[in-house]
Structure 1
Amino acid sequence: MGLQAALHLLYPPQCLTCDARVTTDFGLCGVCWRETPFVAGLVCDHCGVPLPGEETGKPEYCDDCLSVARPWTQGRAALLYKDNARRIVLALKHGDRLDLARPASQWLHRAATPMIQPDMIVAPIPLHWFRLIKRRYNQAALLSAAVSKLAGLDHCPDLMIRRRHTGSQEGRNRDARFANMQDALTLHPRRANRVTGRHVLLIDDVMTSGATFAAAAEACLAGGAKAISVLALARVAKDT
């Protein structure tokens, strides 16, 4: 504790996304906190997007999840993908801000609480090997490792592989996103037996249409998983 206090005197904690001083490590200042859209209250039970109204104790679903079949049981997100949340995701994904994985995993763990079950195995959405070499790390794997530790769950970072380079989903409409991910993900042949009869929690940084999660969920179900839940750091939501 003495060493920590001394370090704080020499290097006062700074906000995760600006230079403002904060009272604890890995914290946000008041301004950045207000600009970070955390998901709270009533949400769609399939994708985690916020819904109008009060919680009733019964599952509620957004228009997208009512019109598109989801091969998973439940889904949650910690943030909405806009404002400071978008900056956090992009810094983690493209800016080598690996330190952001620690607070982000805590937000994810809190969002995942209604879904967590003792028998779950946690796995990240994989990157294609070419993109992994270029980026040097998979941000989803950093998040899934930390969430599994916080939740006390089994973790398999290489449960899945991406069979082909799918390119960016950005700029594609919903149908094109699903077509792009068709048969793109599969279970790792040496890890496939780990999903048999188990509930799998899939983790990624961003959910937009749900196409990537759908491809991963279908691969796990085909491999014998009994159920799938999905968890995203940020959820893209339509403006209302």
Structure 2
Amino acid sequence: MATFRKLLFASLRCASTWCSYGRGLASVSLARRIKLAPIHKRNWISFGVAGALCAVPVAQADFSHEALIKRASSLVTDSANTYLSQTTLALLDSLTLYAKAIRILVSLHTRYEASASRLSTADEDAVWQVMIQQREEVVTRREQCKRFESNWMTAINLSELAAEAAYNAGADQASVTARSNLDLAQSQVERMRQVALEAEEGLRESRAEDSPRMEPAAQPLAAQEGEEEEEIPEAYLRED
């Protein structure tokens, strides 16, 4: 009986120990959960705070319809100014080359007329081929000017509309910049147009573009015939 009591007491003690150990593990697990929860919460709060800090500039930006239209009108004027500058440069270059081609043609024609009677047939053919090529160059440059001028006029219209849109949207600086670029482009093109018009006036006066080819061989032949008539002996001219 004493032995039985000892065994029973030992069993109850062991059971109590295991129960205490189980409660301890449960307490540790619960403590870990309780301890981890604030950590996750702090991490979540930190992430939320970081997101809030990143969102501050966006929250402060003005997304009203007026502000968006104003910004869009400024972007339109920037694009229109770029298109205008490129088309203006192309037109100025084409007008410069056109005027230069006309001056070369007029100069060639003037020299040709002055020396055609003294040129041999081979030299006259070579000069005339150069004249034909220069006439084709003038025509090509003229067509190029017309094409670039069409693009330039489109750019002018777009810039005027962009400047008006910026002014109506309240983008005063963009509107003023567009107007200044318009005035500058128009003044430059007008000045170069005047140079081209003066060159065309000289071309019309010289008739270098449509003058016919001269025949230098005809004059020496006529002179030879005159000389032969003068060399006829007087005896053949007397009447018997």
- Whether the TM-score (by the shorter chain) exceeds 0.5 is no
Q: Which has the larger radius of gyration?
A: 2
Higher relative contact order (Cα pairs below 8 Å, separated by 6+ residues): 2
Structure with bigger strand share is: 1
TM-score by length of 2: 0.18
TM norm structure 1? 0.18
Q: Between Structure 1 and Structure 2, which shows a larger proportion of helix residues?
A: 2
